[in-house]
Amino acid sequence: MADDTLKPVAQRHERVRRQHNDELAEDYVEAIHGLLEENEQARVTDLQGIFGVSHVSVIRALDRLEARGLLERSRKEGIRLSAEGQQMAQESARRHELVVKFLRVLGVSNTRAEADAEGIEHHLSEETLRAMRRLIRQRERG
């Protein structure tokens, strides 16, 4: 459908649904990228521990991400991110860091900042991200 004769309020809700579709992909490639950097490998078990779901759920998520071209798996090579996957991972990680930093500057504790960032990071427009960077800069200088 993707009808743009939708009312503005409906377009906003549709956008949130799209963001939720991308959310799992963003968090997974970010986690995989992190694991590959520090461990040389990213295993199903590691991801199970990170996301707190069963190994079956991890495997099925990886299947979908592989179908989307974000990663590849093989018995001997393990999980590797595609170019697109790496791109998404880096952007997601940078954005995650930015959101946490922003919340910290606002005065939120580290624990809460990390927790809230995990959800809100997927719902921010470029404009809002710019505004966050601006506030960080202001608070860090003057």
Partner DNA sequence: TCAAGAATGTAGCACAGGCTACATTTCAGC
Partner DNA sequence: GCTGAAATGTAGCCTGTGCTACATTCTTGA
Residues that bind a second copy (CB under 8 A): 3, 6-7, 9-16, 19-20, 27, 49-52, 103, 106-109, 112-116, 118-120, 122-125, 127-128, 131-132, 134-135
Out of 96, 99, 102, 113, point to the residue binding Mn ion (CB under 5 A): 96
Distance CA 83, CA 89 (A): 10
Beta bridge partners of 73: 79
Alpha-helix residue ranges (DSSP H) falling in 2-125: 8-39, 44-51, 55-67, 83-106, 110-120
Out of 18, 64, 123, 139, point to the residue binding DNA (CB under 7 A): 64
Residue pair 85/71 in contact by the 8 Å Cβ criterion: yes
Residue 101 binding partner per list DNA, a second copy, Mn ion, none, with a CB distance cut-off of 5 to 8 Å that depends on partner kind = none
Residues 6+ apart with CB under 8 A from 78: 41, 42, 43
| Residue 72, helix vs strand vs coil | strand
**Binding of residue 60 to DNA (CB under 7 A):** yes
- Tokens representing 46? 């590691």
**Binding of residue 118 to Mn ion (CB under 5 A):** yes
Residue 96 binding partner per list Mn ion, a second copy, DNA, none, with a CB distance cut-off of 5 to 8 Å that depends on partner kind = Mn ion
Binding site for DNA (CB under 7 A): 1, 17, 21, 23-24, 43-45, 51-57, 59-62, 64, 73, 75, 78
